[in-house]
């Protein structure tokens, strides 16, 4: 049974546990709250607060996620009190002398972090806003100042925006939680960079990922597990197409959830993997849900809920629910909701999930009903044109309201009003990211009047401009005009190749005709057929060799690579 109380104005959830006592202090702030130009600020504050704890002989940790940041401690009551009171004191007075060092630590941590399939899904679905920002590196770190951190703490790390969970017999005596006063911040409303769904975008070979955003419910959680059960049975056990065939269910805010399905496979089987996953989704959304699968999933969930409740394993989840405005639910309430799920309810979720689906696949999926997610802008801005110094059709266009790069039929546009970040290098290089995730890269060395373009961009992007460390000179692009590139042979070399063409064309025609006549004779004449084989093969070989020579000489004369 979870009890609710309060310490220092912070709501507390308390439940007994059969294992060691542990506690967690969570705040309703995470990556989704950070503008891209401040990406990394919450993680940096978490690191600075934990540094104040120093080296101890007890286990503690902290984590920054998409919606929440928390500090966790396992140990006896005295150590829990010391840790949590220490975190609150550190938040009120962060060790700013560690700022530069912790920035380096975060960059090193990012360098060792592996790829996550959820990141490209979030980027393509949400763009460079709210729930899409965690797909980007912590680009905001270089610009963060002590004042930025203090303002972020006073806004988000407050007693009204916090919750404490304690797995133990009672709230430890001496716990103060001295935090500043503030307000509760609801989770951001998920944005969308997709004009239509279901949609798809190209991904790496060997993996197919599908996700959907649906209303949060017991039916949605059961659907995710039913989908995994069927995927495992059909993609792994029956066909052997996949080794990994699994799903994940994650709440988003108060009333929404994301369901993700992942299936791997050999590159040569990627079309079959996509087709098999699409068949499973189609089967469920048209209502062909086996009640036996629903029953098996519900029974398993009930068992897991009872086990988690016995060791206070549900406490963190219920605490985070409280932070986003949901009621704390007793385990029997949750079990009753799960038992009420029917096959028809699962089918309704499947239909809703399909309509909001997003697919990442190495194989195009238009024939399966997925529209192509937009990978470029619909239109360019109207402004001053800076042609490329490398020739060709690429043009940089800078206007009062935005900037575009146009190259043939490809257009990338970032409007200043929707610019999430403008990364700025001392040499003049700029990278602008729009809220929809479209990127415009400006290298003044590659465009006519490039530095004039940069000055105009800087004047319009000051609030979101983040200066970057200097680049190595070798990393700065240098123009390679097409006029200076090799265009092919000239002079004596060109003349020699023309002579070759004059000689080789008649030779190819002559030997080709003779070889063809010999081949015809072999099928029409019965005498001396063996005597024709060797001359016929030689004539055909000479004709083919002459043909390759003609091709090579022609490409040399035209200046094309062989």
What pLDDT does residue 318 have? 95
| Ranges 212-226, 513-527, 548-562, most confident | 212-226
545, with CB counted inside 10 A (0-12, 13-18, 19+), is middle
Q: Are residues 33 and 108 in the same domain?
A: yes
β-bridge pairing 69-74 and 59-64: antiparallel
What pLDDT does residue 508 have? 65
d(CA 222, CA 540): 69
Q: How confident is the model at residue 486 (pLDDT cuts 50, 70, 90)?
A: very low
Sign of CA dihedral 13, 17, 21, 26: negative
β-bridge pairing 419-424 and 465-467: parallel
What pLDDT does residue 110 have? 86
What pLDDT does residue 517 have? 66
Residues in contact with 385: Cβ distance below 8 Å, sequence separation at least 6, in sequence order: 395, 396, 397
What pLDDT does residue 491 have? 45
Domain end call among 434, 457, 484? 484
276 in a structural domain: yes
Q: How confident is the model at residue 562 (pLDDT cuts 50, 70, 90)?
A: very low
Q: Are residues 82 and 39 in the same domain?
A: yes
Q: Which pLDDT tens digit goes with each residue over 157-211?
A: 999 999 999 998 889 999 999 999 999 999 999 999 999 999 999 998 999 999 9
Nearest alpha carbon to residue 175 among 4, 53, 1, 10: 10
Look up the domain containing 9 and give its range: 3-167
Q: Are residues 252 and 345 in the same domain?
A: yes
Helix (H, G, I), strand (E, B) or coil at 478: coil
What pLDDT does residue 561 have? 38
**Which residue carries 């008649």 as its tokens?**
506
On the question of pLDDT at 111 being above 90, the answer is no
Q: What is the mean pLDDT of residues 432-443?
A: 97
Count the neighbouring beta carbons within 10 Å of the beta carbon of residue 190: 18
Distances in Å between the Cα of 392 and the Cα atoms of 88, 397, 485 are: 59, 15, 13
What pLDDT does residue 548 have? 64
Q: Which pLDDT tens digit goes with each residue over 455-465?
A: 999 999 999 99
186 in a structural domain: no
Q: Are residues 357 and 258 in the same domain?
A: yes
193 in a structural domain: no
What pLDDT does residue 538 have? 74
175 in a structural domain: no
190 in a structural domain: no
The enclosing domain of 67 has a CATH number of: 3.30.830.10
527 in a structural domain: yes
Q: Are residues 89 and 61 in the same domain?
A: yes
- Bridge partner list, 156: none
β-bridge pairing 358-361 and 371-372: unpaired
Q: Which pLDDT tens digit goes with each residue over 518-546?
A: 666 666 655 555 666 677 767 767 767 76
- Look up residue 153 and give its two tokens: 């703490």
- Bridge partner list, 262: 209, 246
Helix (H, G, I), strand (E, B) or coil at 115: coil
Q: Are residues 543 and 423 in the same domain?
A: no
Q: Are residues 498 and 452 in the same domain?
A: no
- Look up residue 223 and give its two tokens: 């659907």
β-bridge pairing 410-415 and 402-407: antiparallel
- Look up residue 117 and give its two tokens: 């399939």
Nearest alpha carbon to residue 207 among 143, 120, 281, 325: 120
d(CA 177, CA 466): 35
Contact 491, 543 (CB under 8 A): no
What pLDDT does residue 356 have? 97
Q: Are residues 342 and 272 in the same domain?
A: yes
Count the neighbouring beta carbons within 10 Å of the beta carbon of residue 130: 24
Number of domains in the chain: 4
Supply the mean pLDDT for the chain. Answer: 89
Q: Which pLDDT tens digit goes with each residue over 314-372?
A: 999 999 999 999 999 999 999 999 999 999 999 999 999 999 999 999 999 999 999 99
Q: Are residues 472 and 510 in the same domain?
A: no
Rg of the chain taking only CA atoms, in angstroms: 32
What pLDDT does residue 560 have? 36
Q: What is the mean pLDDT of residues 492-509?
A: 56
Q: Which pLDDT tens digit goes with each residue over 49-98?
A: 998 776 555 578 899 999 999 999 988 899 999 999 999 999 999 999 99
Count the neighbouring beta carbons within 10 Å of the beta carbon of residue 39: 23
Q: Are residues 56 and 90 in the same domain?
A: yes
d(CA 216, CA 258): 8
Count the neighbouring beta carbons within 10 Å of the beta carbon of residue 147: 9
Q: Are residues 309 and 391 in the same domain?
A: no
Query: Whole-prediction pTM value?
Result: 0.82
Share of the chain above pLDDT 90, in %: 74
- Look up residue 20 and give its two tokens: 């060691």
What pLDDT does residue 134 have? 93
Contacts 24+ apart (CB under 8 A), 372-378: 372/199, 372/200, 372/201, 373/124, 373/193, 373/194, 373/199, 373/200, 373/201, 374/193, 374/194, 374/195, 374/436, 375/201, 376/410, 376/411, 376/412, 376/438, 377/404, 377/411, 377/412, 377/413, 377/438, 378/411
On the question of pLDDT at 514 being above 50, the answer is yes
507 in a structural domain: yes
14 in a structural domain: yes
On the question of pLDDT at 488 being above 80, the answer is no
Q: How confident is the model at residue 312 (pLDDT cuts 50, 70, 90)?
A: confident
Domain end call among 123, 147, 167? 167
Q: Are residues 367 and 416 in the same domain?
A: no
Q: Please calculate the CA angle 443-444-450 and round it to the nearest 5 degrees.
A: 140
Q: How confident is the model at residue 135 (pLDDT cuts 50, 70, 90)?
A: very high
Domain end call among 346, 372, 398? 372
What pLDDT does residue 555 have? 47
- Look up residue 238 and give its two tokens: 């029956």
What pLDDT does residue 298 have? 97
What pLDDT does residue 559 have? 38
Q: How confident is the model at residue 483 (pLDDT cuts 50, 70, 90)?
A: low
């Amino acid at each position: 049974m979870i009890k609710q109380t309060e310490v220092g104005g912070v709501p507390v959830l308390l439940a007994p546990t059969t294992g060691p006592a542990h506690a967690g202090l969570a705040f309703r702030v995470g990556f989704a709250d950070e503008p891209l130009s401040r990406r990394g600020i919450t993680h940096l504050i978490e690191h600075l607060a934990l540094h104040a704890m120093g080296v101890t002989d007890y286990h503690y940790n902290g984590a920054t996620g998409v919606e929440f940041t928390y500090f966790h401690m396992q140990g006896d009551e005295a150590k829990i009190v010391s840790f949590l009171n220490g975190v609150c004191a550190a938040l009120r007075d962060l060790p700013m002398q560690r700022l530069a060092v912790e920035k380096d630590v975060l960059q090193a941590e990012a360098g060792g972090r592996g790829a996550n399939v959820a990141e490209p899904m979030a980027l393509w679905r949400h763009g460079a806003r709210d729930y899409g920002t965690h797909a980007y590196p912590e680009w905001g770190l270089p610009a963060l100042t002590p004042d930025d951190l203090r303002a972020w703490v006073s806004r988000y790390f407050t007693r009204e925006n916090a919750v404490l969970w304690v797995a133990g017999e009672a709230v430890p005596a001496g716990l103060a939680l001295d935090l500043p006063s503030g307000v509760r911040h609801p989770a951001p409303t998920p944005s969308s960079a997709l004009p239509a769904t279901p949609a798809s975008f190209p991904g790496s070979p060997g993996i197919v990922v599908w996700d959907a955003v649906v209303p949060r419910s017991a039916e949605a959680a059961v659907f995710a597990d039913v989908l995994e059960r069927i995927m495992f049975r059909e993609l792994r056990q029956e066909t052997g197409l996949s080794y990994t065939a699994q799903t994940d269910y994650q709440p988003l805010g108060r009333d929404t959830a994301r369901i993700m399905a992942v299936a791997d496979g050999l590159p040569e089987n990627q079309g079959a993997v996509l087709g098999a996953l699409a068949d499973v989704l189609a089967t469920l959304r048209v209502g062909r849900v086996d009640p036996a699968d629903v029953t098996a999933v519900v029974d398993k969930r009930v068992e897991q809920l009872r086990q988690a409740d016995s060791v206070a394993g549900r406490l963190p989840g219920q605490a985070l629910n409280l932070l986003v405005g949901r009621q704390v639910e007793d385990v029997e309430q949750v079990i009753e909701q799960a038992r009420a799920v029917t096959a028809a309810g699962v089918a309704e979720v499947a239909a809703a999930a399909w309509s909001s689906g997003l697919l990442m696949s190495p194989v195009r999926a238009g024939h399966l009903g997925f529209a192509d997610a937009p990978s470029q802008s619909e239109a360019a801005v109207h402004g001053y044109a800076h042609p490329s110094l490398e020739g060709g059709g690429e043009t940089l266009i800078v206007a009062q309201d935005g900037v575009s790069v146009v190259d043939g039929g490809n257009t990338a546009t970032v409007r200043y009003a929707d610019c999430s970040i403008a990364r700025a290098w001392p040499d003049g290089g700029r990278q602008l990211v729009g809220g929809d995730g479209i990127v415009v890269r400006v290298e003044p060395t590659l465009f006519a009047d490039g530095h004039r373009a940069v000055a105009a961009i800087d004047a319009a992007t000051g609030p979101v401009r983040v200066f970057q460390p200097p680049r190595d000179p070798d990393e700065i692009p240098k123009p390679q005009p097409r006029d200076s590139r090799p265009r092919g042979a000239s002079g004596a070399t060109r003349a020699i190749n023309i002579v070759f063409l004059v000689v080789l064309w008649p030779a190819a025609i002559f030997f080709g005709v003779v070889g063809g006549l010999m081949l015809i004779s072999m099928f029409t004449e019965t005498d001396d057929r063996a005597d024709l084989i060797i001359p016929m093969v030689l004539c055909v070989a000479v004709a083919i060799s002459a043909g390759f020579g003609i091709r090579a000489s022609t490409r040399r004369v035209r200046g094309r690579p062989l």
